Chains A and B, each alone.
Chain A
Amino acid sequence: MLQIEGMTKTFVSGGTELHILKGVTLRVEAGEFVAIMGPSGSGKSTFMNMLGCLDRPSSGSYQLDGIEVTQLPEKKLAEVRNRKIGFVFQAFNLLPRSSALQNVELPMLYAGLGRKERRTRALDALRRVGLAERINHKPPQLSGGQKQRVAIARALVNQPAILLADEPTGNLDSRSSVEIMAIFQELHAQGVTIILVTHETDIAQHAQRIITFKDGNILSDERVQEPLIASPSEEVFVT
């Protein structure tokens, strides 16, 4: 599903080389729900950007769904981002002037889907994250939790091979965080492969497997014996 071998990333900043990833090797199977933890600056986001094909590693290999993506030309890489990857950011990264519906339609626009199909699928995705009532709201009119749910709907809408979330609850209060985790768990139950970065232990406990980063290396990789079940006080309409 996802096979990384000896991945390194070196930044050059002010004449000095910063070795942020120092040869990461990792395999994630389809349908897994993985949490990545680690101290700030340990290279988690850098790693996620590599997984999301937003950036290229300095060396090493990365196979996604059987395709070696490190050598793909820019045009193909954009296609991979569009079709195979759903990315959820800490800062939501919604287009502020577009409605929730338009935001969710965006990846399908670049996939070349027709108007009707875009609409049906966007509505469906928004319903899955419990936002059917808010489709015409613009991001500034939504709460943090609602924004993140729009972002998840957007990440899901092209049925990607993998859902990547870099600290999705980092900007949310605990109640919204639990709601978001409930959605992730529901998606996981439906078979979606998820990799989630967090620095909160209780959030990580919702996953099946926890990988810990330190100084650009994987420090530990453990199964979660009994994952927490997110049970939001408010009903979230995941279907």
Chain B
Amino acid sequence: MNLLESFRIAIEGIWANKMRSGLTMLGIVIGITSVIAVNTLGQGGQQALVNEVEKFGATSFNVMVDWNSKEEFKNQDLTVEDTEILTKASPYIEKMVPVNYGSADIQGPKKSERTNIMATGADYLAIQSNIKLVKGRFISKDDDLEKRAVIVLDDQAAAALFKKQNPIGQRVRMYNTSVVVIGVVKEDKFRFDMSQSGTAYIPIRFDQTFQDEPYVSSLLGKASSKETVELAMQQTKNYLNRKHNHTDHYMVRSLQQELSQLNQMTDMLTLVFSVIAGISLFVGGIGVMNIMLVSVTERTREIGIRKALGAQRKDILIQFLIESVIVCLIGGTVGVILGVGAAAIITYFAGLPPFLAWDSVVLAFGFSSVIGIFFGLYPANKAAKLDPIEALRYE
């Protein structure tokens, strides 16, 4: 008997027991839905993170004093000069700026506002590719060298201090000093950044005039290429330890590194959920086997008739096997649709970019067929082995 006829017979069998076939499919549907949703979300989340990192500069890295260091902490463990020397000396470092991060009240014309203060150098904007100048200009080399009292606001701080007014050229007060607003920037925030307050940028050498001992909290570097990030980080570390009489006092991290750690975490989560989803799929498969066994028992007489008319074992085997594979494939298809849909809804509300895990879709179909064959084989074989006379006598 040809395969097409077997398909027709199998579909007739499924159709004749719509309710039962539907319930059997449900187990597969739930299993496949969860596998697809979990994998799509997991992979989609990772893709989103990769995109973010690309946007924020896959070549940038950050240098800090390692707070776990057992060595003596000094205020000059990081200096402005370090950035200048490193930029000149290392072929792998394209740009580097010092950063001192803090916060202060800024007094605007209308009101005073608590603002994050980022004291840094002129190249900051070139390294932080997610920050764009929208008005005026950013801190220049001369601003920094001459310790000018200038300030650049981000759009949030500008809006808070000046409402709709143009802030360029206006004066604000901070650290009990009058400073001139020279520019406004807009930050494309990291997707998962929830901070509410605005940020202001001032020349780091100006910032240091307010400190007894000049202090730098971190260095921000940009490697010449993705491939040289590691080298640039290593050189920076070696240089700093040597320069400041330490052995292992610094912590250098890149977004790439953070990403791979995050990826490990999401991989782990995806795995755990996949295992759970896989178990539900397995339970679904057992459901298929159970129903197929019931079906074989119920249709014992039909099997007897077919055998009496000359059906071979393999004809009966294939008929029931195809039936269970079709049930699983239909369940799998519905599961894929629901899973992709669920993932799409979740990604939409989580604000992640839409993503389709094609490999898991293909895998789901393969998986459904394998489950159909695996859990269908025992009942189908049982049907095929039935003795025609006993099957015919079955009531």
CB of B142 within 8 Å of the partner chain: no
Selected from A49, A75, A110, the residue in CB contact (under 8 A) with B309 is A110
A97 and chain B: residue at smallest CB distance: B16
A221 CB, min distance to chain B CBs, angstroms: 26
Q: Mark A80-119, 1 if CB is under 8 A from B, else 0.
A: 0111000101000111011000000011011110000000
Contact B389 A106, beta carbon cutoff 8 Å: no
A154 CB, min distance to chain B CBs, angstroms: 7
B305 and chain A: residue at smallest CB distance: A93
B312 and chain A: residue at smallest CB distance: A78
A158 and chain B: residue at smallest CB distance: B310
Contact B389 A78, beta carbon cutoff 8 Å: no
| Chain B contacts for A110, CB-based, 8 A | 1, 306, 309-312, 315
- Give the residue among A78, A94, A95 with the most B Cβ atoms within 10 A: A78
Contact A55 B310, beta carbon cutoff 8 Å: no
Interface residue ranges of B297-316 to A (CB < 8 Å): 301-302, 304-313, 315
CB of A79 within 8 Å of the partner chain: yes
Q: Cα distance A74–B313 when bound, in Å? A: 9
CB of B359 within 8 Å of the partner chain: no
Selected from B302, B312, B392, the residue in CB contact (under 8 A) with A95 is B302
Contact B389 A111, beta carbon cutoff 8 Å: no
Q: Cα distance A89–B393 when bound, in Å? A: 11
CB of B84 within 8 Å of the partner chain: no
Contact A78 B311, beta carbon cutoff 8 Å: yes
B-side interface mostly? helix
| Chain A contacts for B304, CB-based, 8 A | 93
Contact B308 A54, beta carbon cutoff 8 Å: yes
CB of A145 within 8 Å of the partner chain: no
| Residues in chain A within 8 A of chain B (CB atoms) | 49, 52, 54-55, 74-75, 78-79, 81-83, 87, 89, 93-95, 97-98, 106-107, 109-112, 154, 158
| Chain B contacts for A98, CB-based, 8 A | 12
B308 CB, min distance to chain A CBs, angstroms: 6
Q: Cα distance A189–B309 when bound, in Å? A: 25
30 A–B contact pairs at CB < 8 A? Answer: A52-B308, A54-B389, A54-B392, A55-B387, A55-B389, A75-B313, A78-B311, A78-B312, A81-B309, A81-B310, A81-B388, A82-B310, A82-B311, A87-B309, A89-B392, A93-B301, A93-B305, A93-B308, A95-B302, A95-B305, A98-B12, A107-B309, A107-B310, A109-B1, A110-B1, A110-B309, A110-B312, A110-B315, A111-B310, A158-B310
Selected from B301, B302, B307, B389, the residue in CB contact (under 8 A) with A49 is B389
A93 CB, min distance to chain B CBs, angstroms: 5
Q: Mark B1-40, 1 if CB is under 8 A from A, else 0.
A: 1100100000010001000000000000000000000000
B interface residues, tally (CB under 8 Å):
22
Contact B312 A109, beta carbon cutoff 8 Å: no
Q: Cα distance A78–B5 when bound, in Å? A: 18
Q: Cα distance A82–B306 when bound, in Å? A: 10
Q: Cα distance A93–B311 when bound, in Å? A: 15
Contact B309 A106, beta carbon cutoff 8 Å: yes
A136 CB, min distance to chain B CBs, angstroms: 15
Contact B305 A81, beta carbon cutoff 8 Å: no
- Give the residue among A81, A109, A154 with the most B Cβ atoms within 10 A: A109
| Chain A contacts for B16, CB-based, 8 A | 97
| Chain A contacts for B305, CB-based, 8 A | 93-95
| Chain A contacts for B310, CB-based, 8 A | 78-79, 81-83, 107, 110-111, 158
| Chain A contacts for B5, CB-based, 8 A | 109
**Given known contacts A110-B315, A112-B2, is B309 in contact with A54 (CB within 8 Å)?**
no
- Give the residue among B5, B310, B312 with the most A Cβ atoms within 10 A: B310
| Chain B contacts for A154, CB-based, 8 A | 309
Selected from A75, A79, A81, A83, the residue in CB contact (under 8 A) with B308 is A81
| Chain B contacts for A78, CB-based, 8 A | 307, 310-313
Q: Cα distance A67–B352 when bound, in Å? A: 74
**Given known contacts A54-B388, A97-B12, is B308 in contact with A87 (CB within 8 Å)?**
yes
- Give the residue among B5, B305, B309 with the most A Cβ atoms within 10 A: B309
Q: Cα distance A98–B9 when bound, in Å? A: 10
Q: Cα distance A81–B312 when bound, in Å? A: 10
A1 CB, min distance to chain B CBs, angstroms: 20
Instruction: Give 13 new A-B contacts, CB below 8 A, not counting A93-B301, A93-B392.
Output: A55-B388, A75-B313, A78-B307, A79-B312, A81-B310, A87-B308, A87-B309, A93-B304, A97-B12, A107-B310, A110-B306, A110-B315, A111-B310
